[in-house]
Amino acid sequence: MDHYWQIAGDRVLLYLRCLNFPEMQALDLALRALKEAERNIIQGSGNSPVAEAMQTLRHLLNEQKPGVAGRDHFLNVRCELPMPSTPPIHRLHMIPEEM
């Protein structure tokens, strides 16, 4: 389970970095999102740590006051950092079987 929390933390921080949040504010939001996500999972939300952390982060971003860095434009930002949505695929050469 710790592996999934590590992925959740990485995802949240990368997302905030894409939104150009100041580093200290990004760390604070990430920590708040992960703690709240953990509470929600303990209470039986049924989500994976990654899904719960991202939902919680979105909720926290929507709660921010207008004028706070990133609040007014976070939905309109296109992330230019590479964010793989799937794990890498390592394909090997296929050796034909004898007939």
Per-residue pLDDT reduced to its tens digit, 8-54: 999 999 888 888 888 898 999 999 999 999 999 999 878 889 999 99
Q: In this structure, are residues 16 and 30 in contact, taking their beta carbons and an 8 Å threshold?
A: yes
Q: How far apart are CA 7 and CA 92, in angstroms?
A: 27
Q: Map residue 92 onto helix, strand or coil.
A: coil
Please report the pLDDT score of residue 22 as a whole number: 86
Q: How far apart are CA 85 and CA 53, in angstroms?
A: 16
Please report the pLDDT score of residue 75 as a whole number: 53
Q: In this structure, are residues 37 and 56 in contact, taking their beta carbons and an 8 Å threshold?
A: yes
Please report the pLDDT score of residue 30 as a whole number: 94
Over range 72-95, report the average pLDDT: 62
What element of type H or E holds 4?
A: helix 2-18
